[in-house]
Structure 1
């Protein structure tokens, strides 16, 4: 029998194994840890027998207890939908403008509308509803088609320039590059800028105002405040849809961009559209 070797530094017996001058100490795991490890093995076997765990070709073992996390989630979802249905049914039968007069419905509609907004609307209008170039800011007071609850509902439900929807809102600004000379477009742009700021050349404002009165006032109004009946933007509020510089305004006059918003009522259903309208109206910019 070979003599046991004791490590000089730790005073622990070695196993006799050595690698590159490094000797392995004989320090077995504590017994409590070993027994705990064995217990976990026994527990895992019991769990595998009691619960679904072993994958098969087209399914998995059901387990003696017959538990299913999917079934549990389905039950919880069904219970939640049953609770929500009383609110959804009331919203479906109620005109959208009356929802705010019922505190419980208002709270439910804002919460439901917020959830629907995060799924369907943030891609264009932003997570904070702040919008982006070509996509309206839903927090401010500038509304192309009106900011009262009914107009918001109409816009969400039927969209804007959405050809597949008969009730969609339609308005097209003509391309004035086909109607006006480049100098005349610059003059109109200078006049529009003058409504809220300082144009690059003040001498263009006066002739621009004449052209504006002849070509633009019919939609945007004599004072440039717009007209929600035509979806014509307010040009006197310093809120710009496609750019605020004089060149960008001139470009929009010459060859206007026309955004398209899809109709959502067939996709989401009327109750959800009403909740979205209430939520957007609650952001603070609604009229």
Structure 2
């Protein structure tokens, strides 16, 4: 006791450490800090008893509450699966044409279709569904549809695909190759007439005659196209393969015909319905087809 040294200004005992003339005081911890520390110790003990805490050789301590993060995740996943199942069941019994009558169901279908599109469709149509003109993948945001743009027509195309030999109901349209039949001046005249249908060139009388003899049957007298044959419109500003003279001439001489997988055997019906709803919602989709007054009556799949 007699060896204790007290700092007179503070009344605090020195601990006896000195460094370069600087000495350390044995200042006691603040009471609030000590009580906080004791509380954390108590809380740690309670936590160890209630929750998993100590790792052992094969597994950890379980805690008296029996709670685990794995168990919580399993419960949340189960709840999410039940919600999705309920949505899919409701979607399965709702005709696509009736989706606008249920705003929540339509919103969920579009959201689900967007996710499915990112998995199955972006490889060709792009993440924004803008397609690829060079490769002939159509833009799904515009108003041009080779086979129809109402939701039923879109669904049919998704199910059966385009030019798929393994699907008996696939959409199939053909265009003959005119290489060797239409060449030189006749080809130039026909290209002039085709471009003139969308005001991209001056009218060509000779080309109009060639068009009427060889093209009007499928593409229409004024280039309005035909969804029965999948023949594109030629009198608007939307071009699947490009609107340059070279692109039009190449398509006349050696047409490049697109293909699309048939997803009917690959995807669940609910997923196909969601994809149809999403594609229809992109902006170019046409009005929902009216259905019979009795909702139980089946609507023909063929647009």
Q: 1:187 — aligned with what?
A: 189
TM-score (normalised: structure 2): 0.72
Q: Are 1:143 and 2:145 counterparts?
A: yes
Q: Which has the larger radius of gyration?
A: 2
Superposition pairs for residues 47-86 of structure 1, below 5 Å? 50=52, 61-65=58-62, 72-86=72-86
Q: Are 1:253 and 2:259 counterparts?
A: no
Q: For each residue in 1:86-106, what CA deviation from the matched residue of structure 2 results, as whole angstroms up to 9, or x when unmatched? A: 221121123221222222211
Gaps of 5+ in 2: 1-17, 23-43, 287-303
> Does the CA contact (< 8 Å) of 1:52 and 1:67 recur in 2?
no
Name the CA distance, whole Å, in 1 between partners of 2:72 and 2:231. 52
Name the CA distance, whole Å, in 1 between partners of 2:122 and 2:246. 29
Q: 2:30 — aligned with what?
A: none
> Does the CA contact (< 8 Å) of 2:55 and 2:61 recur in 1?
no
Distance 1:142-1:269 versus aligned 2 partners, 3 A rule: same
Name the CA distance, whole Å, in 1 between partners of 2:283 and 2:164. 27
Gaps of 5+ in 1: 13-42, 55-59
Secondary structure, aligned partner of 1:110: helix
TM-score (normalised: structure 1): 0.75
Q: 2:269 — aligned with what?
A: 270
Q: For each residue in 1:40-71, what CA deviation from the matched residue of structure 2 results, as whole angstroms up to 9, or x when unmatched? A: xxx9xx8xx946979xxxxx943222877565
Name the CA distance, whole Å, in 2 between partners of 1:117 and 1:212. 38
> Does the CA contact (< 8 Å) of 2:52 and 2:68 recur in 1?
no
Q: What's the offset of the Cα at 1:220?
A: 0.4
Structure with greater helix percent: 1
Q: 1:100 — aligned with what?
A: 100
Coordinate RMSD, CA, aligned: 3.3
Q: What's the offset of the Cα at 1:239?
A: 0.6
> Does the CA contact (< 8 Å) of 2:224 and 2:235 recur in 1?
yes
Distance 1:92-1:207 versus aligned 2 partners, 3 A rule: same
